[in-house]
Amino acid sequence: MNFRTGPGTDYTAKGTVSSNTSVRVYCTAKGGAWAYLKVTEGAHKGTTGWIAYKWLAVPMQLS
């Protein structure tokens, strides 16, 4: 999936993130359709950008 410079397909793609790549989500935009995140592993580790929220799988936290 592409991650972008802003919350929408009109923004420039910064690169791609593979399935099962860990990311940290900071906020959402456009009614929750886009997530601003930081890649925490892999080739783009440390890079921030926007991804369509529908492509994210959020693991459940157990206490």
Angstrom distance (rounded) from CA 5 to CA 7: 7
In a domain, 8, yes or no: yes
Sign for the pseudo-dihedral over CA of 8, 55, 24, 28: positive
What pLDDT is attached to residue 45?
Answer: 92
Q: Residue 30's closest CA among 12, 52, 14? A: 52
Label the pairing between strands 13-16 and 2-4.
antiparallel
Query: How many domains are there within the chain?
Result: 1
Q: What is the pTM of this model?
A: 0.83
15 found inside a domain: yes
8-state DSSP, 7: S
In a domain, 60, yes or no: no
pLDDT tens, the chain, 63 aa long: 899 999 999 999 998 888 888 889 999 999 999 999 999 998 889 999 999 999 888 765 544
